[in-house]
Copies of this chain bind each other. A is one copy, B any other.
């Protein structure tokens, strides 16, 4: 069969997204930085439990603000925060 150049282009893009799955997971946070690496000085944690964001959707990144709930609902994903816990 014959295909137009436009159809070929769309097929290539579709393959890239559906099969190879080369998507970035961080759409917005600190995109001017080459790599986002935050540090926690653990002795400075004051609360018994402090949740850190694993979904790259938090408005208070690197802390978790609960945005993973919306991300999981929208995508069927199962991500959540890393909990830093102090012993009593």
Contacts and interface: CB of A to CB of B under 8 A. Distances in A.
Contact of A72 (B11, B35, B45, B54): B35
Interface in A4-54: 4, 6-7, 10-11, 13-14, 17-18, 21-27, 30-31, 33-43, 45, 52, 54
Contact of A84 (B40, B74, B78): B40
A14 to B, nearest CB: 6
Q: For chain A, what secondary structure do more than half of its interface residues adopt (helix, strand, loop), or is it mixed?
A: mixed
A79 B52 contact: no
Contact of A40 (B7, B71, B85): B85
A36 B78 contact: yes
A79 B26 CA distance: 7
